[in-house]
Amino acid sequence: MTAEAADREARSLLTHVVEPATVGVGRLVAQYGAPDAVARLAAAAPSGRARDLGRPEARAAAAESLRQFEAEGGRFVVPGDPGWPSQLDDLGDESPFGLWVAGRGDLRLLALRSIAVVGARASTDYGARVASLLSTDLAERDWTVVSGGAYGIDASAHRGALAGRGSTVVVLACGVDVAYPTAHEALFARCADSGLLVSEAPPGELAQRWRFLDRNRLIAALTRGTVVVEAARRSGALSTARHAADIGRTVMGVPGSVTSQASVGVHELIRGGATLITSADQVITEVAGDPRWVDEPLPGLADVAPLPEALGLVLALLAPRTPLTVEQVALRRELTMPEALALLAGLELRGLAARSSRGWVSVLD
Protein backbone atom coordinates (compact mmCIF):
# COMPACT_ATOMS: atom_id res chain seq x y z
CA MET A 1 0.00 0.00 0.00
CA THR A 2 1.35 3.43 -0.93
CA ALA A 3 1.85 6.12 1.69
CA GLU A 4 -1.02 8.12 0.16
CA ALA A 5 -3.38 5.13 0.32
CA ALA A 6 -2.37 4.38 3.92
CA ASP A 7 -2.99 8.00 4.90
CA ARG A 8 -6.42 8.01 3.24
CA GLU A 9 -7.43 4.73 4.89
CA ALA A 10 -6.27 5.93 8.33
CA ARG A 11 -8.17 9.19 7.98
CA SER A 12 -11.27 7.33 6.86
CA LEU A 13 -11.02 5.14 9.95
CA LEU A 14 -10.68 8.20 12.17
CA THR A 15 -13.93 9.66 10.83
CA HIS A 16 -15.70 6.44 11.81
CA VAL A 17 -14.50 6.26 15.41
CA VAL A 18 -13.36 9.73 16.55
CA GLU A 19 -15.70 12.67 17.03
CA PRO A 20 -15.03 15.80 14.93
CA ALA A 21 -12.89 18.57 16.42
CA THR A 22 -11.20 16.23 18.91
CA VAL A 23 -8.17 18.42 19.53
CA GLY A 24 -5.94 15.76 21.07
CA VAL A 25 -6.31 13.44 18.09
CA GLY A 26 -5.92 16.31 15.65
CA ARG A 27 -2.66 17.25 17.32
CA LEU A 28 -1.37 13.68 16.99
CA VAL A 29 -2.30 13.57 13.30
CA ALA A 30 -0.55 16.90 12.68
CA GLN A 31 2.59 15.74 14.50
CA TYR A 32 2.93 12.13 13.37
CA GLY A 33 0.66 11.69 10.35
CA ALA A 34 -2.63 9.79 10.30
CA PRO A 35 -1.34 6.18 10.12
CA ASP A 36 1.11 6.67 13.00
CA ALA A 37 -1.50 8.56 15.02
CA VAL A 38 -3.93 5.65 14.61
CA ALA A 39 -1.25 3.18 15.72
CA ARG A 40 -0.41 5.26 18.80
CA LEU A 41 -4.05 5.64 19.76
CA ALA A 42 -4.71 1.93 19.30
CA ALA A 43 -1.71 1.07 21.46
CA ALA A 44 -3.06 3.30 24.21
CA ALA A 45 -6.13 1.03 24.49
CA PRO A 46 -8.65 3.90 24.47
CA SER A 47 -12.21 3.51 25.70
CA GLY A 48 -15.50 3.91 23.86
CA ARG A 49 -15.71 3.87 20.08
CA ALA A 50 -12.01 4.73 19.83
CA ARG A 51 -11.23 1.12 20.82
CA ASP A 52 -12.14 0.25 17.23
CA LEU A 53 -8.91 1.87 16.06
CA GLY A 54 -7.08 -1.30 17.03
CA ARG A 55 -9.67 -3.84 15.87
CA PRO A 56 -8.97 -5.48 12.48
CA GLU A 57 -12.68 -5.96 11.80
CA ALA A 58 -13.38 -2.27 12.37
CA ARG A 59 -10.51 -1.27 10.10
CA ALA A 60 -11.76 -3.64 7.43
CA ALA A 61 -15.29 -2.25 7.73
CA ALA A 62 -14.04 1.33 7.37
CA ALA A 63 -11.94 0.39 4.33
CA GLU A 64 -14.94 -1.33 2.73
CA SER A 65 -17.12 1.72 3.46
CA LEU A 66 -14.60 3.92 1.68
CA ARG A 67 -14.34 1.56 -1.29
CA GLN A 68 -18.12 1.33 -1.66
CA PHE A 69 -18.61 5.08 -1.35
CA GLU A 70 -16.08 5.81 -4.07
CA ALA A 71 -17.48 3.04 -6.28
CA GLU A 72 -20.85 4.80 -6.11
CA GLY A 73 -19.35 8.09 -7.26
CA GLY A 74 -18.59 9.74 -3.92
CA ARG A 75 -15.22 11.14 -2.92
CA PHE A 76 -13.29 11.15 0.33
CA VAL A 77 -11.13 14.27 0.20
CA VAL A 78 -8.10 14.58 2.47
CA PRO A 79 -5.32 17.16 2.96
CA GLY A 80 -2.93 17.05 0.01
CA ASP A 81 -5.62 16.10 -2.51
CA PRO A 82 -6.17 18.50 -5.43
CA GLY A 83 -9.74 18.99 -4.19
CA TRP A 84 -8.81 19.86 -0.60
CA PRO A 85 -9.60 23.49 0.37
CA SER A 86 -6.43 24.64 2.09
CA GLN A 87 -8.33 27.26 4.12
CA LEU A 88 -9.62 24.42 6.31
CA ASP A 89 -6.11 24.24 7.72
CA ASP A 90 -6.92 27.50 9.54
CA LEU A 91 -8.81 25.32 12.03
CA GLY A 92 -5.49 23.98 13.31
CA ASP A 93 -5.86 20.92 15.53
CA GLU A 94 -9.63 21.02 14.92
CA SER A 95 -9.19 20.53 11.17
CA PRO A 96 -11.24 17.65 9.77
CA PHE A 97 -9.44 14.35 9.21
CA GLY A 98 -11.11 14.22 5.80
CA LEU A 99 -14.39 15.13 4.14
CA TRP A 100 -16.96 12.84 2.53
CA VAL A 101 -18.22 14.59 -0.59
CA ALA A 102 -21.09 13.82 -2.95
CA GLY A 103 -22.14 15.83 -5.99
CA ARG A 104 -20.86 17.21 -9.26
CA GLY A 105 -18.75 20.11 -8.05
CA ASP A 106 -15.10 20.42 -7.03
CA LEU A 107 -14.91 21.42 -3.36
CA ARG A 108 -11.71 23.46 -3.57
CA LEU A 109 -12.87 25.40 -6.63
CA LEU A 110 -16.34 26.02 -5.21
CA ALA A 111 -14.84 27.22 -1.94
CA LEU A 112 -12.52 29.72 -3.63
CA ARG A 113 -15.40 32.19 -3.99
CA SER A 114 -17.89 31.20 -1.35
CA ILE A 115 -20.05 32.88 1.26
CA ALA A 116 -21.81 31.25 4.20
CA VAL A 117 -25.44 32.33 4.57
CA VAL A 118 -26.83 31.05 7.87
CA GLY A 119 -29.52 31.82 10.40
CA ALA A 120 -32.45 30.65 12.44
CA ARG A 121 -34.38 27.46 11.80
CA ALA A 122 -37.54 29.23 12.97
CA SER A 123 -37.14 32.04 10.47
CA THR A 124 -39.72 34.70 9.73
CA ASP A 125 -41.10 35.36 6.26
CA TYR A 126 -38.84 38.42 6.13
CA GLY A 127 -35.74 36.38 6.98
CA ALA A 128 -36.52 33.63 4.48
CA ARG A 129 -37.12 36.18 1.73
CA VAL A 130 -33.91 38.10 2.46
CA ALA A 131 -31.81 34.90 2.61
CA SER A 132 -33.25 33.72 -0.69
CA LEU A 133 -32.78 37.03 -2.51
CA LEU A 134 -29.27 37.52 -1.15
CA SER A 135 -28.26 34.00 -2.17
CA THR A 136 -29.77 34.37 -5.63
CA ASP A 137 -27.80 37.56 -6.19
CA LEU A 138 -24.58 35.96 -4.94
CA ALA A 139 -25.10 32.95 -7.21
CA GLU A 140 -25.74 35.17 -10.21
CA ARG A 141 -22.37 36.79 -9.51
CA ASP A 142 -20.70 33.33 -9.48
CA TRP A 143 -20.29 33.09 -5.72
CA THR A 144 -20.96 29.73 -4.08
CA VAL A 145 -23.48 29.79 -1.24
CA VAL A 146 -22.62 27.51 1.70
CA SER A 147 -25.04 26.60 4.46
CA GLY A 148 -26.12 23.75 6.70
CA GLY A 149 -29.24 22.36 5.04
CA ALA A 150 -31.51 22.99 8.02
CA TYR A 151 -35.03 24.36 8.02
CA GLY A 152 -35.48 28.12 7.84
CA ILE A 153 -32.65 30.39 6.69
CA ASP A 154 -30.36 27.53 5.56
CA ALA A 155 -32.96 26.06 3.23
CA SER A 156 -33.87 29.51 1.88
CA ALA A 157 -30.19 30.16 1.15
CA HIS A 158 -29.79 26.91 -0.78
CA ARG A 159 -33.00 27.48 -2.74
CA GLY A 160 -31.98 31.04 -3.51
CA ALA A 161 -28.64 29.90 -4.92
CA LEU A 162 -30.39 27.32 -7.09
CA ALA A 163 -32.81 29.98 -8.32
CA GLY A 164 -29.78 32.04 -9.34
CA ARG A 165 -28.51 29.04 -11.35
CA GLY A 166 -25.43 28.89 -9.20
CA SER A 167 -23.69 26.36 -7.00
CA THR A 168 -24.44 25.69 -3.37
CA VAL A 169 -22.70 23.49 -0.79
CA VAL A 170 -24.60 21.75 1.99
CA VAL A 171 -22.44 20.96 5.03
CA LEU A 172 -24.16 18.19 6.95
CA ALA A 173 -23.90 16.81 10.48
CA CYS A 174 -24.74 13.30 9.21
CA GLY A 175 -23.53 11.12 6.35
CA VAL A 176 -24.00 12.66 2.89
CA ASP A 177 -26.25 9.72 2.02
CA VAL A 178 -28.60 10.52 4.92
CA ALA A 179 -31.24 13.19 4.32
CA TYR A 180 -31.61 15.18 7.52
CA PRO A 181 -34.09 16.70 7.77
CA THR A 182 -35.89 14.08 5.67
CA ALA A 183 -38.17 16.72 4.15
CA HIS A 184 -35.10 18.17 2.40
CA GLU A 185 -34.20 15.01 0.46
CA ALA A 186 -35.29 16.52 -2.88
CA LEU A 187 -33.57 19.82 -2.07
CA PHE A 188 -30.30 18.05 -1.29
CA ALA A 189 -30.50 16.15 -4.58
CA ARG A 190 -30.83 19.47 -6.44
CA CYS A 191 -27.92 20.93 -4.48
CA ALA A 192 -25.73 17.95 -5.40
CA ASP A 193 -26.56 18.47 -9.09
CA SER A 194 -25.05 21.96 -9.12
CA GLY A 195 -22.75 21.80 -6.12
CA LEU A 196 -21.94 19.42 -3.29
CA LEU A 197 -23.03 17.68 -0.13
CA VAL A 198 -20.17 17.60 2.40
CA SER A 199 -19.70 15.95 5.79
CA GLU A 200 -17.07 14.84 8.25
CA ALA A 201 -19.35 11.94 9.17
CA PRO A 202 -18.96 8.74 7.14
CA PRO A 203 -21.76 7.33 4.96
CA GLY A 204 -24.73 6.03 6.90
CA GLU A 205 -23.97 8.07 10.03
CA LEU A 206 -27.09 9.59 11.57
CA ALA A 207 -27.21 13.19 12.77
CA GLN A 208 -26.31 13.70 16.42
CA ARG A 209 -27.28 16.83 18.27
CA TRP A 210 -23.78 17.76 19.40
CA ARG A 211 -22.35 17.48 15.88
CA PHE A 212 -24.24 20.51 14.57
CA LEU A 213 -22.03 22.94 16.48
CA ASP A 214 -18.91 21.09 15.30
CA ARG A 215 -20.27 21.24 11.75
CA ASN A 216 -20.57 25.03 11.98
CA ARG A 217 -16.81 25.49 12.21
CA LEU A 218 -16.50 23.87 8.75
CA ILE A 219 -19.05 26.27 7.26
CA ALA A 220 -17.03 29.17 8.68
CA ALA A 221 -13.66 27.86 7.52
CA LEU A 222 -14.70 26.86 4.00
CA THR A 223 -15.94 30.34 3.14
CA ARG A 224 -14.55 33.84 2.69
CA GLY A 225 -17.14 35.29 5.03
CA THR A 226 -20.30 34.50 6.98
CA VAL A 227 -23.62 36.33 6.70
CA VAL A 228 -26.13 35.82 9.51
CA VAL A 229 -29.62 36.70 8.29
CA GLU A 230 -31.71 35.97 11.38
CA ALA A 231 -30.67 34.64 14.77
CA ALA A 232 -32.23 34.80 18.20
CA ARG A 233 -30.05 35.52 21.20
CA ARG A 234 -29.03 31.85 21.58
CA SER A 235 -29.25 30.73 17.97
CA GLY A 236 -26.81 28.04 16.86
CA ALA A 237 -26.07 30.17 13.79
CA LEU A 238 -24.14 32.55 16.05
CA SER A 239 -21.58 29.79 16.64
CA THR A 240 -20.77 29.88 12.92
CA ALA A 241 -20.15 33.62 13.23
CA ARG A 242 -17.93 33.09 16.27
CA HIS A 243 -15.88 30.43 14.47
CA ALA A 244 -15.54 32.75 11.48
CA ALA A 245 -14.30 35.61 13.65
CA ASP A 246 -11.87 33.31 15.48
CA ILE A 247 -10.12 32.34 12.23
CA GLY A 248 -10.11 35.80 10.70
CA ARG A 249 -13.06 35.57 8.33
CA THR A 250 -15.42 38.46 7.68
CA VAL A 251 -18.61 38.37 9.75
CA MET A 252 -21.69 40.18 8.45
CA GLY A 253 -25.27 40.56 9.63
CA VAL A 254 -28.56 41.52 8.01
CA PRO A 255 -30.58 43.87 10.24
CA GLY A 256 -34.16 43.02 11.11
CA SER A 257 -36.98 44.68 12.95
CA VAL A 258 -36.02 46.03 16.36
CA THR A 259 -39.13 44.32 17.75
CA SER A 260 -38.30 40.90 16.29
CA GLN A 261 -36.81 38.33 18.65
CA ALA A 262 -35.55 36.50 15.55
CA SER A 263 -33.07 39.34 14.93
CA VAL A 264 -31.82 40.00 18.46
CA GLY A 265 -28.71 37.84 17.97
CA VAL A 266 -27.87 39.51 14.66
CA HIS A 267 -28.19 42.99 16.16
CA GLU A 268 -25.85 41.99 18.97
CA LEU A 269 -23.35 40.71 16.39
CA ILE A 270 -23.48 44.05 14.59
CA ARG A 271 -23.06 45.96 17.85
CA GLY A 272 -20.05 43.76 18.55
CA GLY A 273 -18.33 44.66 15.30
CA ALA A 274 -19.92 42.54 12.55
CA THR A 275 -20.55 44.47 9.33
CA LEU A 276 -24.12 45.46 8.58
CA ILE A 277 -25.03 44.42 5.02
CA THR A 278 -28.19 44.64 2.95
CA SER A 279 -27.10 43.40 -0.51
CA ALA A 280 -24.90 40.92 -2.33
CA ASP A 281 -22.70 43.73 -3.65
CA GLN A 282 -22.01 44.83 -0.08
CA VAL A 283 -21.08 41.25 0.85
CA ILE A 284 -18.70 40.95 -2.08
CA THR A 285 -17.15 44.33 -1.34
CA GLU A 286 -16.50 43.25 2.24
CA VAL A 287 -14.74 40.01 1.33
CA ALA A 288 -13.14 40.79 -2.01
CA GLY A 289 -13.08 44.54 -2.59
CA ASP A 290 -15.07 46.25 -5.32
CA PRO A 291 -17.36 43.69 -7.05
CA ARG A 292 -16.41 45.22 -10.43
CA TRP A 293 -12.74 44.45 -9.84
CA VAL A 294 -10.86 42.89 -12.76
CA ASP A 295 -7.21 41.84 -12.76
CA GLU A 296 -4.62 43.79 -14.70
CA PRO A 297 -4.07 42.14 -18.10
CA LEU A 298 -1.13 39.81 -18.59
CA PRO A 299 1.38 40.31 -21.42
CA GLY A 300 -0.15 37.89 -23.92
CA LEU A 301 -0.67 34.30 -25.04
CA ALA A 302 2.94 33.88 -26.06
CA ASP A 303 3.95 33.90 -22.39
CA VAL A 304 1.39 31.32 -21.30
CA ALA A 305 2.27 27.65 -20.86
CA PRO A 306 0.22 25.16 -22.93
CA LEU A 307 -3.22 24.53 -21.43
CA PRO A 308 -5.28 21.36 -21.22
CA GLU A 309 -7.70 21.25 -24.15
CA ALA A 310 -10.84 21.91 -22.09
CA LEU A 311 -9.31 25.01 -20.51
CA GLY A 312 -8.08 26.26 -23.86
CA LEU A 313 -11.52 25.94 -25.44
CA VAL A 314 -13.09 28.00 -22.66
CA LEU A 315 -10.30 30.61 -22.74
CA ALA A 316 -10.87 31.00 -26.50
CA LEU A 317 -14.45 32.13 -25.76
CA LEU A 318 -13.43 34.97 -23.46
CA ALA A 319 -12.68 38.53 -24.52
CA PRO A 320 -10.99 41.26 -22.44
CA ARG A 321 -13.92 43.68 -22.41
CA THR A 322 -17.03 41.59 -23.21
CA PRO A 323 -18.00 39.57 -20.11
CA LEU A 324 -19.69 36.17 -20.45
CA THR A 325 -21.76 34.56 -17.70
CA VAL A 326 -21.15 30.99 -16.58
CA GLU A 327 -24.41 30.02 -18.27
CA GLN A 328 -23.27 31.50 -21.60
CA VAL A 329 -19.97 29.62 -21.39
CA ALA A 330 -21.79 26.39 -20.52
CA LEU A 331 -24.20 26.75 -23.45
CA ARG A 332 -21.51 27.59 -26.00
CA ARG A 333 -19.21 24.75 -24.96
CA GLU A 334 -22.03 22.26 -24.17
CA LEU A 335 -20.99 21.97 -20.52
CA THR A 336 -22.93 21.69 -17.31
CA MET A 337 -22.89 24.76 -15.08
CA PRO A 338 -20.55 23.14 -12.50
CA GLU A 339 -18.18 22.03 -15.31
CA ALA A 340 -18.11 25.53 -16.80
CA LEU A 341 -17.52 27.11 -13.39
CA ALA A 342 -14.70 24.67 -12.60
CA LEU A 343 -12.94 25.44 -15.91
CA LEU A 344 -13.36 29.19 -15.45
CA ALA A 345 -11.99 28.92 -11.93
CA GLY A 346 -9.05 26.93 -13.33
CA LEU A 347 -8.31 29.78 -15.72
CA GLU A 348 -8.61 32.27 -12.87
CA LEU A 349 -6.11 30.30 -10.81
CA ARG A 350 -3.68 30.48 -13.73
CA GLY A 351 -4.15 34.26 -14.00
CA LEU A 352 -5.77 33.97 -17.43
CA ALA A 353 -9.35 34.98 -16.61
CA ALA A 354 -11.11 37.19 -14.11
CA ARG A 355 -14.69 37.81 -13.10
CA SER A 356 -16.65 40.94 -12.47
CA SER A 357 -20.24 41.63 -11.48
CA ARG A 358 -21.22 41.21 -15.17
CA GLY A 359 -19.39 37.98 -15.97
CA TRP A 360 -16.06 36.47 -16.96
CA VAL A 361 -13.37 38.09 -19.13
CA SER A 362 -9.96 37.17 -20.45
CA VAL A 363 -7.07 39.15 -18.99
CA LEU A 364 -4.93 38.59 -22.08
CA ASP A 365 -4.49 41.32 -24.69
Reference 343, options 142, 100, 84, 114; nearest CA is 142
Determine the pLDDT at residue 48: 64
According to CATH, the topology of domain 301-362 is Arc Repressor Mutant, subunit A (1.10.10)
User: Is 291's pLDDT higher than 60?
Assistant: no
Q: How confident is the model at residue 157 (pLDDT cuts 50, 70, 90)?
A: very high
pLDDT average, residue stretch 194-202: 95
**Cα–Cα distance, 303 to 65 (Å, whole number):** 46
Domain locations in the chain as residue ranges: 3-73, 107-288, 301-362
Determine the pLDDT at residue 295: 34
Q: Are 85 and 113 in contact (CB under 8 A)?
A: no
Instruction: Quote the pTM value.
Output: 0.79
Q: What residues have CB less than 8 Å from 36, skipping those under 6 apart?
A: none
Q: Are 311 and 347 in contact (CB under 8 A)?
A: yes
Least confident stretch, 18-27, 90-99, 347-356: 347-356
pLDDT digits (tens, 9 = 90+) for 60-113: 888 999 999 999 999 999 998 888 998 999 999 999 999 999 998 899 889 989
* CATH code of the domain made up of 107-288: 3.40.50.450
User: Is 343's pLDDT higher than 60?
Assistant: yes
